[in-house]
């Protein structure tokens, strides 16, 4: 048995077109965030090199730990942004063409973005035990905290203010908020009824919903019009023709007929109905 034929697809709604361009904007912002993360990693690696030059006797384990933390932070922030950008870029054109599967993937990507943002916010707390555990295993001395606080390398690395940080953190925060806002707008536009009807069109054999009420068809036709003559009965309406609330039926439909049209309204017939008497003796 062949599948039911799909009804002709209506024109693409404006909401879908707007969602397509907003989705491309999300892709560009995500790629910008990934590039900004890489630039921050390169800058911080240069800061580590500067601290090593200023402190020649720096502990190699401390230097290696900072470099590993820099790489881990870059991967945690940059890789999800690149993957989400590829995901949304791959589904943008199918969404514009009306692929419902691509629309569902966009919804999934928006949910993944929320999870990624939550995980990235908590990643700092997750990384602290992983970075500190090797140091604790290598130096179980009770004076480890004091040595950490008085380390010349760390004091040199984090001393003073870095103008780059005044640019990186506000730009990264603004980019994340922009991605979340644009993604929410895309999901809303693709979920509106016009877009939903366009992505999931009716089949050709699918019945449309019945109207709440239908106007009654005329059930009287004068002779000579090719229709059978149906007598008018005041107050009668076929049960298959429902009326809206408050619809009134004229008690004398014959009053609305044109002159000369036959009438089936009840009334006196015969010679006595032609000329009524004006007096008790039949005088006029």
Name residues whose C-beta falls within 8 Å of residue 176's C-beta, 6 or more positions apart in sequence. Answer: 33, 117
Report, as an integer, the average pLDDT of 150-177: 85
Residue 178 pLDDT class (50, 70, 90 cuts): very high
Residue with tokens 């900072």: 66
Q: Is the dihedral of CA 181, 185, 186, 188 positive or negative?
A: positive
Res 17 pLDDT > 90: yes
pLDDT at 136: 46
Residue 150 is given by DSSP the state T
Integer Cα distance of 129 and 122 in angstroms:
13
Q: Is the dihedral of CA 25, 31, 35, 38 positive or negative?
A: positive
The residue with greater pLDDT, 237 or 194, is 194
Which of these ranges, 21-25, 167-171, 174-178, 225-229, has the smallest mean pLDDT? 225-229
pLDDT at 283: 46
Highest mean pLDDT, choosing among 220-224, 241-245, 254-258, 275-279: 254-258
pTM tops 0.75, yes or no: no
Residue 14 pLDDT class (50, 70, 90 cuts): very high
DSSP states of 190-252 = HHSHHHHHHHSPPBTTPPPPPPS--PPPP----TTSSS------TT---TTS---TT----S-
The residue with greater pLDDT, 44 or 282, is 44
pLDDT at 156: 84
Considering only CA atoms, which of 29, 17, 37, 80 is closest in space to residue 183? 29
Name residues whose C-beta falls within 8 Å of residue 214's C-beta, 6 or more positions apart in sequence. Answer: 241, 242
Res 201 pLDDT > 70: yes
- What tens digit of pLDDT does each residue of 120-143 get? 666 555 545 544 454 444 454 555
Residue with tokens 């068809």: 217
């Amino acid at each position: 048995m062949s599948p039911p034929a799909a009804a002709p697809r209506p024109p693409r709604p404006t909401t879908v077109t707007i969602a397509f361009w907003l989705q491309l904007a999300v892709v560009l912002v995500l790629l910008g965030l990934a590039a900004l993360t890489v630039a921050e990693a390169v800058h911080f690696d240069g800061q580590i090199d500067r601290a090593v030059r200023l402190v020649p006797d720096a502990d190699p384990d401390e230097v290696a730990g900072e470099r590993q933390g820099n790489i881990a932070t870059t991967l945690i922030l940059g890789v999800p942004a690149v993957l989400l950008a590829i995901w949304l870029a791959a589904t943008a054109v199918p969404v514009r063409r009306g692929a419902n599967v691509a629309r569902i993937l966009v919804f999934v990507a928006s949910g993944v973005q929320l999870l990624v943002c939550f995980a990235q916010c908590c990643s700092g707390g997750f990384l602290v035990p992983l970075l500190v555990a090797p140091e604790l295993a290598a130096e179980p001395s009770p004076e480890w905290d004091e040595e950490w606080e008085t380390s010349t390398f760390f004091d040199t690395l984090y001393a003073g203010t870095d103008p780059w940080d005044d640019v990186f953190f506000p730009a990264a925060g603004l980019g994340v908020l922009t991605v979340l806002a644009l993604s929410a707008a895309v999901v809303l536009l693709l979920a509106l009824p016009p877009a939903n009807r366009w992505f999931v069109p009716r089949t050709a054999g699918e019945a449309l919903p019945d109207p709440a009420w239908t106007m009654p068809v005329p059930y009287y036709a004068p002779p000579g019009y090719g229709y059978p003559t149906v007598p008018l009965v005041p107050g009668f309406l076929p049960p298959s023709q429902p009326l809206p609330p408050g619809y009134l039926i004229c008690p004398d439909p014959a009053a609305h007929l044109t002159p000369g049209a036959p009438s089936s309204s009840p009334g006196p017939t015969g010679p006595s109905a032609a000329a009524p008497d004006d007096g008790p003796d039949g005088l006029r």
